[in-house]
Amino acid sequence: MFFVVKQVDFNGICRVLNHRDWVGKIAWHLCQTPFVMGNETNQKLKGYLLGAIAAATYGMNPLFAKPLYENGLSMDTVLFYRYVMAVPVIALMIKLRGRSFKLQRKAVFPLIVMGVLLSISSLTLFYSYTYMDAGLASTLLFIYPVLVAVIMAVVFKEKISRQTVICIIMALAGIVLLSRGSDGKGLNPIGVAIVMVSSVTYAIYLVAVNQWKVLKEMPTVQLTFYALLFSTVILFGKTGFGMHLQPITQWYEWLLLLCLAILPTVVSFLATTQAIHYIGPTPTAILGSLEPLTAVVFGVLVFHEAFTSRLVLGMLLIITAVTIIVSKGNFATYLLRFRKLFPKLKKK
């Protein structure tokens, strides 16, 4: 829950304190920081927080999927179980919130399109792994913030600021530095084309959620439920309507699939959709650059992968880009105010 903080008379407090005193200086500089948070600012704060949560949870994919693949489960099996287990979780959320499952007739087609886009994006990304290194393929996927910005500028005439362009470049540079080839595969033209399909379809999904009027007016949980439901139907058909599904025999495989369904799927998709409604598709897409950063952190901590200076530089670029886009150009001002909280003490 977020609280709306109204204007507080910090000036009166500051006058009580001795301005020459170190504590007084801290209080005085706090007075210079705006504490007014109206509804619009509050919604943007929610949007940026949800965007970061969506990216962080989606970055947990390797944490749960990698052990399943190492156990011999196929891509189709993992994707199907991931979605089919996520659908009842969201259905329960709808029921507990007292929401209706009833759809307007005009919403059926857009939701089917959303399901198709999600399934194509997931399938093509995983298929690209057969043509190139998984890390390289995942890096190429994150061209989607650029595609979102281009779609919004060309189709919907959204003005893209110089700051946004710089942030996109910084985030992409950071993602490239985070990518690591594990098997020495190079850039395969077919693999690149398949990843581009995944990136384009995901970019269209992000834009459509915000621009398709019937989807924009739909409750987030309902939209996510039906998008995942239609995706599950498509993935079920991809498995030969269950004929090619592999059995899940170990209890820990069910646990990994449940975690995969809840965190990188339910939480991430719900947070992404809500973030798009609050701050728009372009900032949400840029915040998505936190996804590979999260994957790298888990790779180092859980799978004991090497932590190199290149990874450090990549993480710094991504964090800086996201910080700038969130602060909306006031980054330098906030840094200055933070520094002034700790003024130098005069030598006696």
DSSP 148-217: HHHHHHHTS-PPPPHHHHHHHHHHHHHHHHH---SS-----HHHHHHHHHHHHHHHHHHHHHHHSHHHHT
Coil/strand/helix, residue 336: helix
* Other beta carbons less than 10 A from residue 272's beta carbon: 27
The answer to whether the beta carbons of residues 71 and 285 sit under 8 Å apart is no
The answer to whether the beta carbons of residues 166 and 307 sit under 8 Å apart is no
User: How far from 222 is each of 103, 106, 107, 270, CA to CA, in Å?
Assistant: 9, 14, 11, 10
From CA 154, how far away is CA 340, in angstroms rounded?
43
Structure tokens at 16: 């009580």
Nearest to 10 by CA among 31, 29, 25, 24: 31
Q: Cα Rg for the chain, rounded, in angstroms? A: 23
At how many degrees (to 10) do helices 144-154 and 162-178 cross?
160
pLDDT tens digits, the chain, 348 residues: what are they?
333 444 444 444 444 444 444 444 444 443 444 444 456 678 888 888 998 898 888 878 778 888 888 889 988 999 999 999 999 999 999 998 888 888 889 999 999 999 999 999 988 887 887 777 666 666 677 778 788 888 888 888 888 788 888 888 888 888 778 765 544 444 678 888 888 898 899 999 999 988 898 998 898 899 999 999 999 999 999 999 999 999 999 999 999 999 999 998 999 989 998 898 888 888 888 887 777 777 777 777 877 777 788 878 888 888 888 777 766 555 445 444 444 444 454 554
Structure tokens at 323: 């910080």
Nearest to 127 by CA among 205, 194, 197: 194
Residue-level pLDDT at 290: 77
* Other beta carbons less than 10 A from residue 63's beta carbon: 21
Residue-level pLDDT at 135: 60
